[in-house]
Chain A
Amino acid sequence: MSLIAAAVQPILQSVFGILAPLVSITPAVWLLPIVSTLWHFSLSLVGVCTVILVLATAARTMTGSPVNWLKLLVSLALTAVLALLSMRICIFLIHLNNALIASLAARVAIHLSPISLPTQILADLVLWLPYLLLLIALTVVYLIRAIELMFLATISPLGMMAIAWPETRRVGTRYFEELVVVTLVQTVQAFVLVLSRGLSGLEGPGPANALVGLAALYLMIRAPALFRRLISGSGRSYPLWAAAAQWLNF
């Protein structure tokens, strides 16, 4: 093993220690006490906001503005149902993601293992350092995803409430898209890993395998942005959910 490889090995081990559990499964964020407490707070905030919206509608009635009471009642009922179900929706998406990864793992083992890199000096310089940097970046991506998932779970009642009211539906659909992207992107990343293993096996030394490994790591880092663009469309305003809403006449 060359000097660079020897120097990089301990850092790699620590990076793998952090990264390994984050790659194969999404943790049950809803079990964290802080998430649960903040979710209940968000839920009570939704209740208060709903009362304020009803009061605003009453004020509009008093000033003689036309008010559609049926729409108001539908929005109220939707708010209550979606806000109460918000955490279950998050849990469902996380379970779905874990199930998809488990089904992928049933075919190919999903784990990051150090790729076998050539040990010549030139190859060290060209491959080891980018490999290490990409792994660190990937760890950061996974950590950010975990934090973002916790945040999205805590504000889920507010996000769902935004879907229920026509004035804030755009924000609500944006929230839901983000929730779907953040939750299910792990499946996309696992798929990239499986695909790269299919291409190279990531076994054995060789520049070709090493390059496929590096490309896979790069794609895994880019996956959230690419998946987000796929869901929400590039430059367009949320075509997927807009189409769904139009179809439901919502």
Chain B
Amino acid sequence: MVQHFLLNVISTVQAWLGTASVLFLLWGGYLLWTSGDNPAQRSHAWRHLAAVVGGLVVVVFAQDLVRLVYSWAGQGAPF
């Protein structure tokens, strides 16, 4: 029961971070849109978008990443 609750906590955190990442992506798109021909601002916007996409990938695969590490350590993930 507690384990079920904790897994629900993970799902909730993932959902919140997913939502946040959409907002960050929108913000990155806005930065890119308003950067015009300024290369520094463009570069900043692309870096921001890359960080958001990287973070989003980790959010989606967080459980799989931990499961992978546990299977590497010799046992299935304990959750």
A interface with B by C-beta (< 8 Å): 40-41, 43-48, 50-52, 54-55, 57-64, 73, 76-77, 79-81, 83-84
Contact = CB atoms under 8 A, between A and B. Distances in A.
Contact of B51 (A43, A64, A83): A64
B15 to A, nearest CB: 11
B58 A57 contact: yes
Contact of B77 (A47, A59, A62, A63): A47
A47 B13 contact: no
B8 to A, nearest CB: 10
The 7 closest A-B pairs by CB, nearest first: A62-B55, A58-B58, A47-B79, A80-B73, A61-B55, A48-B6, A43-B78
B4 to A, nearest CB: 11
Given A51-B62, A54-B58, A84-B73, A64 B48 contact: yes
B73 A58 contact: no
- The secondary-structure label for the interface of chain B is helix
B53 to A, nearest CB: 9
A55 B72 contact: no
B3 interface: yes
Chain A at the B interface: SS class:
helix
Nearest to A73: B69
B70 interface: yes
Contacts of A45: 6
A63 B20 CA distance: 10
A47 B55 contact: no
A54 B69 CA distance: 12
Interface in B59-79: 59, 62-63, 65-66, 69-70, 72-75, 77-79
Nearest to A59: B17
Given A58-B59, A80-B73, 17 more contacts: A45-B6, A48-B6, A48-B7, A51-B79, A52-B13, A54-B65, A55-B59, A55-B62, A58-B56, A62-B17, A62-B55, A80-B66, A80-B70, A83-B78, A84-B70, A84-B74, A84-B75
